[in-house]
Each structure stands twice: as C-alpha cells, then as structure tokens.
Chain A
Amino acid sequence: MTTVSQSVSDTHESPRIVAAHAVNLVKSYGSGDAEVRALKGINLEFEKGKFTAVMGPSGSGKSTLMHCMAGLDVPTSGQTFIGELEVGNLNDASLTQLRRDRIGFIFQSFNLVPTLTAGENITLPVDLAGGKVDKQWFDFLVGELGIADRLSHRPSEMSGGQQQRTACARALIRRPELIFADEPTGNLDSNSSSEMLAFLRRSVTEYHQSIVMVTHDARGAAYADRVVFLADGELVGELISPSADAVLERMKQLGN
C-alpha cells in the first residue's frame, strides 16, 4: 500500500499528504450484455488540506467514484483508501464508524432529517457518536454560514440555500478528514451558490479542511485547488489552480 501511494506521489514534485486515493478502481453495474462499466480503472488521489473538484459530462461516473471512495458503494475491483485505511476491507459497522468519524457528506438535495431542527441536524453526527458538541466551533460555523437565526427551524421552513448551508455545517461539525460533496450547489441560484463555495474555500484555506466536490459548474470548479476530469468512466485530465475559463474550455473538449 505504501509503495503505491509513494509511487503515485513520486510523480509529483512537492511532498503531499494524501487524504484518500483509489487504485485501479473499477465499478460495473449489471452483467453480460447489460453490463455498464461506470468506472474503468481509476487511479486517483485527493490531497489533504486541498479542495478538489471532479467534473465530467453526465453519466461519466462522478457520483459513482465518490460513492466508492466514501465506502457507500463496493468497487467491482481495485481499492480505495481513506488515509491509510483500505475501505474495501471494512464491514458495515466499521464503514458506519468511518463515515461518522472521518467523512462528511453534502448531497445535492435531501440533506436534512425533516423531523429535526437545523441545529439538531448539524449536531446529528456528534449525537450519533454519543459525543459532545464543540460549542465554539458550532457557533463559529453557524455564524459563518449565516444560519444562526435559523437553528430552531425545521428543514421545511428553510430555503434551499439555508438547507444546503446547514448540511455544510453538519459536514464540518466533527472536522472530518475529508468532505465529499456531490453537486452541493446544484439546486441553488448563483448568489447562494457563490456564498457556499466561498465558505468551502475558506474552510480549506483557513482550517485545512480536505474537500472533494462534484460539480457541473465551471465557476464552482474555479474555487478548487485542482480539477480532475472524468469522461466515460476514465480519468481524462486535470487542471491545477483552475480558472473558470480554463475549465469551460476543457469541458467543451470533453463534450466533443
């Protein structure tokens, strides 16, 4: 394992710590004629303390990649690691613990438990673990995200943007090693989405949070330190410190 990660990092100049990586990751759905190869042998790593965006046409395997990396889905072959821990070897209880303690999630929609208030939704991972909420961190997060006055509201009483920011706070509350966000701004207008992306950016820059975000939005990708491009289940390139225009350009090429 170490050799693999070393060999991967050897190809880059600066020494880096890897938050998660995939080795020859293959994922197929169905079998025989109906087989869909969603991921066709991906080798990829996500750096610690960095904001990585994943882009690609619809159906290119972005969500599948994320699910496999996070231990939500089981790869057909290959390995995935969170830190040094191989996800494929874990049973359900350990996977649950992994998700609870080391990973944060933000989905495109339906992020919140409807019966719980915003505040309760944020502290849910802590409650589930039976731990104590870091009150300062909590206050800081809700302040930064501008939801301090919404804490006692139910999801149904909040706007989509507020809901997504609440989900954001929940993902961050335990300061996980890595946050996976699948189109977190997909349902938001450009204002809300800029606010949220700016927050994610800050959490990486200022608190060294590691984030992997799937997005369709070139301007969103521009907030990231690095963009990786997927097409048809394969890794087809990357951009470091991307600009929105560069990303758009690359996406156009992929579209062809």
Chain B
Amino acid sequence: MWRITIKGLLAHKLRLALTGLAIVLGVTFVTGTFVLTDTLHNTFTGLFNKVYQNIDLEIRGTAAFSNPSGGTAIRKPFSESLLSRVRAVPGVTIADGGVGGYAQYVAKNGKAITTGGAPTIGATFEPDRQLSSLKLVEGTGPQNASQVVMDQGTARKYGFHVGDRVEILLPGAPQTFTISGIVRFGTANNLAGATIAAFQLATAQRLFGKVGQLDTIDIIVASGANRSTVGRSVAAMLPRGVEVVTGQTVANEDSSSINQALGFFSTGLLVFAFISLFVGAFTIFNTFSIIVGQRTRELALLRIIGASERQIFRSVLLEAFLLGLAASIVGLGLGVLTAMGLDALLKAFGIALPQGPLVFAPRTVVVALIVGVGVTVISAISPARRAVRIPPIAALASYLRASAESPRRRFVIGVAIGALGVLALVVGVGKPAIQLVGLGAVAIFIGVGMLAPLVARPISGVLGRPLAAIFGASGKLGRRNSMRSPRRTAQTASALMVGLALVSTFTVFGASISQSATSGIKDAVIADYIITASSAGAPQSGFSAAAAAAVARVPGVTTVSSINGGMFEFRRSVLNLTAISPQDVSRTVILRMDSGAGASALSNGDLLIDTTTANSKHLQVGERIRVTFAETGPTTVRIGGIFKSNAVLGSYVVGDNFFRSHFAANTLPVAILLRASRGSSAGTTAAIRAGLESYPNLKIQTRAQFIETQQAQVNQLLGLIYALLALAILIALIGIVNTLMLSVFERTREIGLLRAVGMRRRQVRAMIRSEAVILSVFGAVIGIVVGTGLGVALADSLKQQGITDISVPYASLAIFLVVAALLGLAAATWPARRAAQLNVLDAIAVE
C-alpha cells in the first residue's frame, strides 16, 4: 500500500501541488508570525537587560495598581531630599535621581514629530555615565538649562546634529533648546520608535512640574558590598509609598510590558493565520474528495484484488500526511523569509527596531508542523472514509458513482452543527469569551458548508441563467457543469464562503461601529471645535496644558473646556476616568441625566456614571463606592448622578476640582472643547490655528471633522483586517483553480467531444469561466448572507458596549459580490487555457 500511496502522490503531482499551496500559505503565516514576534521579543528583552545591567537598585514610588494596557504603572514622585540620604547609606557608591515626562520634538519644517504609537519620552540625563541607560555617541550631556540630548534615531531621521537648535513641546509652553549630544538607548538608536529628550535634572524637574521631586533614584552598589544587604538598608529608610527594587526587576517589567503588547500583536496575526488554515482545510477536503471520486475504479480494483478497508483508509490518510508534511516544511522556510522581509519592511518604514538575530524557536517548528500536517490529515479523514465505502463492484459497473449519503442526514447534521455554533457564539459574545466566539464561528461555517450542497444545484442554476443568456451554448454548459456535482460545487465554494463571510462580518460590524460613533458623537458633543493631540492614544500622549490658555486668547472663542483623563481602580478592575469643568458642561457636551444631578453633582465632587455601568454594576445614585487612585490611594466617592451613555465622556466622569485633588498637577489634558461666537467658521478656524501655532502637535477639528476622523479610524482598521483576510481569500481562490483543474482533467474526453463537434477554443474558455463565476458567486452569496447575519448579531450583542446603531452597507456587500465574480474569472484563467489547449484527438482517444 505504501507503494500505491507514493505512486498516487506522484500521479497527482499538479493537483497536490495546488492543494499543498493552501497549506504552505497558512503555515507561512503562522511561522512568520512566530519568528517575527519571537525575534522582537528577544531583542527587546536583551535590550532592557543590557540597559539596566549596571543598575543594581532602583528607588521609585509604589504603584497603587498595575496598568492594564501593559504600559508602565503610574507611580507617584517622591521628595528629592531622599537622594542625599540614600547616598549616605553604606555600600552605595553611586546614586542619581531622575524625573520624566512629556517632551515632543518639533521637526525643522515646524511639524511635531509623531511616533505612531510609541512614547515621546522626556527624561533626565544622569551625569554618571556608568549608571545612565543613555549612551552618548556624540557631543556631551546637557551642560545648562537650555541644552538637550537627543536620541540617535530621531537625529538621523530628521537631520539634527550637535549644536542645532530644536523646539520641544512640553507640559507647559514650548521651548527651544540646543542639542548638546546624541545618545543611544543602550545599544539601540532609540526604543522602537520612541523619541527621547534628556535634560539636566533641575531642568527636567522644572519642565515636568516636579521641582524638588524625583521619579527614580538609580543606585550602583560598591563592588565588595552585598546587593541585597544594601537593598535592605535602603528599604529601611524609605518613607511610605516608596520602594526599592533591583535593576533586573525593572528590566523585566519594562520588557514584559513591551512583550505584552507583542503578545497582542502576535495573537492578532495568529487569528488570521488560523483563518487562512481553516479556509485551506476546506480546499484540502475538497481536493481529496475529488481525487477519491476520480479514483473510484482504481480503489475498487484494489479492493477486488484484496486490499482491506483499513489499507485503503490508511493509504489516503498517508497521502494527506505526506502532503501536509511537505507543505509545512516549505511553509516553515517561507515563513522565516517572510519574517525577515517584515523586519526589513518595518525598518524601512522608519520603525527603528533594535538589532538582533532572527529567533527560530523549536516551538515554531513544532506548532507549524502539527498545525500544517494536522489540518491536512483531519481534512482528509472524511474523503478517506468515503474511499472505504467504495464497493469492489464499482470497478466493473460502468456508470456507478460513489453512493450518495441521504440528504436528510446531511441536513440534520448540518443544522445541528450550525445551531451549536450559533449557541457557542451567543454565549461567547455574552461572556465575553473570544475562544468560544471563534469556535462558534468555525462550527457555523462547517454547518453551512454541510448544508451548502443541498442548495448548490438550484442556486447555481439560477446564477447560471444570465451566463447562459450571455455566452449561449458555452454559458449553458458551464451552468450545467456547476450543477452536475452539487457537492463539489458547494465544497469548492465553501472556502470562498468562509473568506467572504468574515469580510462581510467585519464590514457590517465596522459599519455599525462607524455609524454608532457618528450618531454617538452627534448625541454627545455640542462643542464647535475639538482639539486633541495628533498622536492621541500613544502612552504619555497628551499636550501642553498651556495650550488651553493660548486658545482662550483667540478672539471669537467663547468657551474653553479642558478634558482630562486618568485611571482608577474600582472592584479590582482599572477603569478610565474623565474630568470636565462643571460650569462648561452644558455648553460643550450633551449630558442627559437618567437620575440624580449633572453639573451640580460634578461641582460637589461627586462621580457621575452612565446608565450601562449603573445597570451592569448595580450602582445607584447616592451610593458611596470605594475607589483607588494611583497618587492618593484608596478613598470613597459618592455617585451623584446617572447619565445616558455618552460616546465622548466615557463611563465615569468627575469634575475638575475632584480630578486635581487626586491626580498630579502636571497631568496632561487629553482634549480641549471649544465654543465660538460664530460656531465653526473658516475665519474662526484660521484664528484658532494662528493662536495655537506654537503647538504643532495639536489637531484642531470641527465637530464634523471629528466625526469624520472617528469614521476614518474605523475604516483604517477595516482596511487592515481586509488585508489580513486577503490571504484567506487567495487560498479560497487557489481552491477554485484546483477544482477547475481537476474537473478539466476529469472531463478531458467530454471537452474533446465538444471540440470534435465544433466547439471553439474561445467557447471552451467561456464554458470554464462561466463555471468559475458561478462557483465563486455561489460562495460569495452564501458567505455574504452568513457574514451579514454574523455581523448584525455581533453588533447587536454589543449594544451595551455602545454599538447603538446597526448598519448594513449594501453597496459594499454588492461590491464584494462583483469582486468575487471577477476573482472567479481570474481563477479560471489557467484551467480555461488548459482546457482550450487540449488536443482534440488525445481527448477522444483517452480510454
């Protein structure tokens, strides 16, 4: 049997190569993701270890709670007086203090330098070269209050040199500094795109609003001294709220926060890699089904000669195993190349990543092989079982087909699996448990895939009608071909169905988010202008608090309201808090109260929560709840009112005064809301721009523009998702090419006959193309229907989370249908050419 398997593989080289391609692509995706993220993980960990290798101990404020988004925790600064006492501790040789904060460079063209998500770090240049994590590569450290050192990455990219003057945006008004030196962060030009501006300690303290205070003290222990002993004696003298940790701890924390972000990145990519593999599984399943069908006689003959059912079963699975193995190995290789390419691509885009060797972990190989081989073999099980059911008599009968199972049974099983999937999906979304959602979606797709053959014949009949009208006899034949084996048609279309279902799901979901955001903002804000930082969302983002004063001076601006944001802990979860000045509330936002008071409650220092939160957490007006702030620790706050969900304010709102008493004075505003005497007019916009000229990092948007930006963000995300799903669609198309090729081989005689009775080459091509278009449109129609259903269900289930409007973008869905038809046409190119080139005589001579 082993020999037969090998012979079988070799006999079907081409069709298997195409099938294998589906697996190769999936495995490439998995491998590429692993190698890239492992490599990044490794280099970052290495970098942080190197940076902190000389620091024995670090003193810092204790964190009240950890930052859930993976960033560094919020810590309270402590008095600078601690530094001299630490230096006096026996065993401490060197101790330097530092503070950090927001500092953003302005490029020579006057535009703020944005980092695309990485922090813009303002830091202290610690005088001790051994201690500092910043390594001078050029110039000197800052010698006075007007000097700064810049990271090499920024200097190179924006053409700054030692001696140049550079404007820097700060929590206060912007200032211009002279570059005294260029530094690296450890061995890297900078930190994954973060910019660094380091000042003398006193300067930094003044700029970041921390005069007389320190964020950290870094310590080097005397060579003879025991680090933990010194650590203990330092700890003994620290006041409450201040802690001492080892340099290694800091390194671990820093790298773990980056690695946590990398983990999200890698999980996101893996989800799409597995989607590709799942689509690939449909293709493999289909190919093996067809191959088994085509080999019915051969397999039956083997049974006559005496092959056992098990031998037949094993030979099919073995074929799948070998195919999966070969494809996975190729995929592994391509994955490594892809990772190298992506690494280079990221660098080309100016995301300066630290240098490091490519990491090819054994885990990558194991997972890639298991997944690649596993998917192939599992997909082949059902075709293998069908092969076993072929009776030996099939070798003799002339027109016998593999016995078709009853459509009833298929219907029942398909519906059952689909229903289970829906159940899992509903429960998963409700929980929410993302794995359950995924599992539910998989089950739904399998269920629909099982049901599809039942409707394949009538649907392709309807879809083929216009083609028959356009292409005449060839269209008619193409239509009939797509109807002749509903199961094959459905299986081939299923892969595309999954791809398009996901595309449609995200499209409907995205449109609903976009729509909800639009109406949400319309119902949330009445300000004429919304001013935000252009790199909003990045850690430590924000802008100078001084900007509010600057814009208030602009003629025509009547109300200026700064919005602040911060985090607090409530019932063990870390939540976002929004602060707004109570007297401006009515003029800038729409606050609709369900119960309790609004602005007056804010003035009283009460907390406002939205209806959704009140319901889900069972909170009532007048209740006092225990919360924890990073800077001031645990406290209680009264719930003053419950408001209808507001897209801009978030779920927890306090007044300015309350916020200031619990957050550091230098906390940066996240937005400024403006009202102008003449609303948003071109003249006012120009005046505001002029007034904020020295804050180039600010994005000034009218209410309408702000809404557009929100929509654009959703669309950008959708674009990314489409790009990631493109591979799955490609694999589905390979599946179509594959099926058509197999069909062309299988119908060699028939095509020869058609040619003999006068079919032109062009007509042969039109016939194959018609079939391809029917296949792909069939898959697309089902996929779009299923996907729209999923998208609506998903959006509906997230009503509580703020998706208030459900929107089905029919135009986009119609475009998908057309694109699917065109892709089907493209997929038919090669098979159609193949069919048209068949030699008539060879075709009819085949016996």
Minimum C-beta distance from B402 to chain A (A): 15
Chain A residues with CB below 8 A from B754, complex form: 113, 124, 128
CA distance A25 to B494 in the complex (A): 53
In the complex, what distance in Å separates the CA atom of A72 from the CA atom of B840? Answer: 7
Q: How far is the CA of A120 from the CA of B480 in the complex (A)?
A: 11
**Contact between A113 and B473, CB atoms less than 8 A apart:** no
A77 located at the interface, meaning its Cβ lies under 8 Å from any Cβ of chain B in the complex: no
Shortest Cβ distance from residue B757 to the other chain A in the assembled complex, whole angstroms:
5
From B399, B472, B755, B760, contact of A156 by CB (8 A):
B399
Cβ of B292 to closest chain A Cβ, rounded Å: 20
Q: B residues within 8 A CB of A127?
A: 472-473, 476
In this complex, the member of B749, B756, B761 whose beta carbon has the largest number of chain A beta carbons within 10 angstroms is: B756
Q: Contacts A105-B756, A115-B481, A170-B757 hold; do A72 and B841 have CB atoms under 8 A apart? A: yes
Render B748-783 as a binary contact track against A, CB cut-off 8 A, 1 for contact.
Answer: 011001111111110100000000000000000000
Q: Are B753 and A111 in contact (CB under 8 A)?
A: yes
Interface residues of B in 710-762 (CB under 8 A from A): 749-750, 753-761
Task: Please report the C-alpha to C-alpha distance between residue A59 and residue B70 in the assembled complex, in whole angstroms.
Answer: 82
A-B contacts counted at CB < 8 A amount to: 70
* A residues in contact with B753, CB < 8 Å: 107, 110-113
Given contacts A73-B841, A110-B753, A127-B473, contact A100 B484 (CB under 8 A): no
Q: Is A67 an interface residue (CB 8 A)?
A: yes
Q: Are A128 and B844 in contact (CB under 8 A)?
A: no
Q: Which residues of B contact A73 (CB under 8 A)?
A: 841
Residues in B with CB closer than 8 Å to A143 are none
Q: Which of B753, B756, B757 has the most CB of A within 10 A?
A: B757
Residue contact A115 to B758, C-beta cutoff 8 Å: no
**A116 & B480 in contact (Cβ 8 Å cutoff):** yes
Contact A67 B758 (CB under 8 A): no
Closest to A101 in B: B758
A30 within 8 A of B: no
Indicate if A255 sits at the interface (CB-CB under 8 A).
Answer: no
Q: Mark A150-169, 1 if CB is under 8 A from B, else 0.
A: 00000010000000000000
**Does the CB pair A96–B758 fall under 8 Å?**
yes
Question: Which residues in window 448-502 of B have CB below 8 A to A?
Answer: 472-474, 476-477, 480-481, 483-484
Residue contact B481 to A130, C-beta cutoff 8 Å = no
How far is it, in angstroms, between the C-alpha of A99 and the C-alpha of B476 when the chains are bound?
A: 21
- Would A99 and B761 count as touching, CB distance under 8 A? no
Query: A173 CA to B83 CA in the complex, in Å?
Result: 106
CB distance from B715 to the nearest CB of A (A): 44
B755 — which chain A residues lie within 8 A by C-beta? 96, 99
A contact residues around B761 at 8 Å (CB)? 92-93, 96
In the complex, the chain A residue whose C-beta lies closest to that of B840 is: A72
Name the CB-closest residue of A to B480: A115
Min CB gap A226→B, angstroms: 25
With a cutoff of 8 Å between Cβ atoms, the chain B residues found around residue A96 in the complex are 755, 758-761
Contact with A along B819-844 (1 / 0, CB 8 A): 00000000000000000000011001
With a cutoff of 8 Å between Cβ atoms, the chain A residues found around residue B844 in the complex are 72, 107, 110
What is the bound-complex CA distance between A116 and B840, given in angstroms?
Answer: 20
Find out whether the CB atom of A99 lies under 8 angstroms from the CB atom of B757.
yes
The interface residues of chain A lying within 8 Å CB-to-CB of B399 are: 156
Known: A67-B841, A72-B840, A156-B399. A115 touches B483 (CB 8 A): yes
A72-B840, A73-B841, A113-B753 are known contacts. Are A125 and B758 too (CB-CB below 8 A)? yes
B473 CB contact (under 8 Å) in A72, A107, A128: A128
In the complex, A124→B480 CA distance in Å? 13
**Given A124-B473, A156-B399, are A113 and B758 also a contact pair (CB < 8 Å)?**
no
- Please tell me if the beta carbons of A97 and B841 are within 8 angstroms of each other in the complex: no
Return chain A residues, CB-CB under 8 Å to B481. 115
Chain B: which residue is nearest A156 at the CB level? B399
Q: How far apart sit A125 and B763, CA to CA, in the bound complex (Å)?
A: 12
Closest to B401 in A: A156
Residues of B within 8 A of A125 (CB): 757-758
> Are A97 and B472 in contact (CB-based, < 8 A)?
no
A110 proximity list for chain B (CB < 8 A): 749-750, 753, 844
CB–CB A128/B758 < 8 A? yes
Tell whether A114 is near chain B: CB-to-CB under 8 Å: yes
Chain B contributes a number of interface residues (CB within 8 A of A) equal to 25
In the assembled complex, the Cα of A99 lies from the Cα of B755 at a distance in Å of 9
CB distance from A94 to the nearest CB of B (A): 10
Closest to A170 in B: B757
Measured in the bound complex, the distance between the Cα atoms of B758 and A128 in whole Å is 7
Known A-B contacts A115-B483, A116-B477, A128-B473; A99 and B756 likewise in contact (beta carbons under 8 Å):
yes
CB neighbours (8 Å) of B840 from chain A are 72
Chain B residues closer than 8 Å to A4, beta-carbon distance: none
Question: With A115-B477, A124-B473, A127-B476 known to touch, is A97 a contact of B750 (CB < 8 Å)?
Answer: no
- Asked if A34 is at the interface of the complex by the 8 Å CB criterion, the answer is no
Q: How far is the CA of A227 from the CA of B763 in the complex (A)?
A: 37
Which residues of chain A in 73-111 are interfacial with respect to chain B, using CB atoms and an 8 Å cutoff? 73, 92-93, 96-97, 99-101, 104-105, 107, 110-111
Alpha-carbon distance between A223 and B761 when the two chains are bound, in angstroms:
37
Q: How far is the CA of A73 from the CA of B842 in the complex (A)?
A: 9
CB distance A99 to B758 under 8 Å? yes
Q: What distance in Å separates the Cβ of B26 from its nearest Cβ neighbour in chain A?
A: 34
Mark out the residues of chain A between 108 and 140 whose CB falls within 8 Å of any chain B CB in the assembled complex. Answer: 110-116, 120, 124-125, 127-130
Interface centre among A104, A112, A127 (most CB of B within 10 A): A127
B841 — which chain A residues lie within 8 A by C-beta?
67, 72-73
CA distance A65 to B477 in the complex (A): 31
Identity of the chain B residue whose Cβ is nearest the Cβ of A73 in the assembled complex: B841
Q: Which of B476, B483, B750, B760 contacts A93 (CB 8 A)?
A: B760
Residue on A with the closest CB to B762? Answer: A93
**With A72-B840, A96-B761, A127-B472 in contact, is A115–B756 under 8 Å at CB?**
no
Contact across chains for B484 and A128 when beta carbons are under 8 A apart: no
Q: Which of A43-59 contact B (CB under 8 A)?
A: none
Q: How far is the CB of A135 from chain B (nearest CB, A)?
A: 18
Query: How many whole Å from B637's CB to the nearest CB in chain A?
Result: 75
Tell me the minimal C-beta distance from A114 to chain B in angstroms: 7
Closest beta carbon of chain A to B796's beta carbon, Å: 43
A114:B484 contact, CB within 8 angstroms:
yes
Nearest residue in B to A157 (C-beta to C-beta)? B399
Instruction: List A contacts of B763 (CB < 8 A).
Output: 128
Distance in Å from the Cβ of B614 to the closest Cβ of chain A?
65
Alpha-carbon gap, A114 to B763, bound state (A):
18
Bound together, the chains give a CA A130 to CA B755 distance in angstroms of 15
When chains A and B are docked, how far (Å) is the Cα of A97 from the Cα of B758? 6
Instruction: Chain A residues near B760: list those with CB within 8 A.
Output: 93, 96-97, 128
Write the chain B residue with the least CB distance to A123.
Answer: B473
What is the minimal beta-carbon distance from A119 to any residue of chain B, in angstroms? 12
A72 and B756: CB pair below 8 A?
yes
Docked complex Cα distance between A130 and B756 (Å): 16
Considering only CB atoms, which chain A residue lies closest to B758 in the complex? A100
- CA gap between A128 and B476 in the complex, in Å: 10
Chain B residues within 8 Å of A101, by CB: 758
Beta-carbon nearest neighbor of A92 in chain B: B761
Complex CA gap A129/B753 in Å reads: 15
Q: Closest A-chain residue to B750, C-beta based?
A: A113
Task: Quote the shortest CB–CB distance from A90 to chain B (angstroms).
Answer: 13
Which partner residue on chain B sits nearest A180 by CB separation? B756
Complex interface: chain B residues within 8 A of A72 (CB): 756, 840-841, 844
Whole-angstrom distance between the alpha carbons of A111 and B844 in the complex? Answer: 10
Query: Could you write out 21 A-B pairs with CB less than 8 Å apart?
Result: A72-B756, A72-B841, A72-B844, A73-B841, A93-B760, A96-B761, A99-B757, A99-B758, A101-B758, A107-B844, A110-B749, A115-B481, A115-B484, A116-B477, A124-B757, A125-B757, A128-B473, A128-B754, A128-B760, A128-B763, A130-B473
6 smallest CB-CB distances across A and B, nearest first, come from: A100-B758, A115-B480, A127-B473, A128-B473, A72-B841, A99-B758
Sample of 15 more A-B contacts, CB < 8 Å, known A100-B759, A130-B472, A130-B473: A67-B841, A93-B760, A93-B761, A96-B755, A96-B759, A96-B761, A99-B755, A99-B757, A99-B758, A110-B844, A111-B753, A113-B750, A114-B484, A128-B754, A128-B758
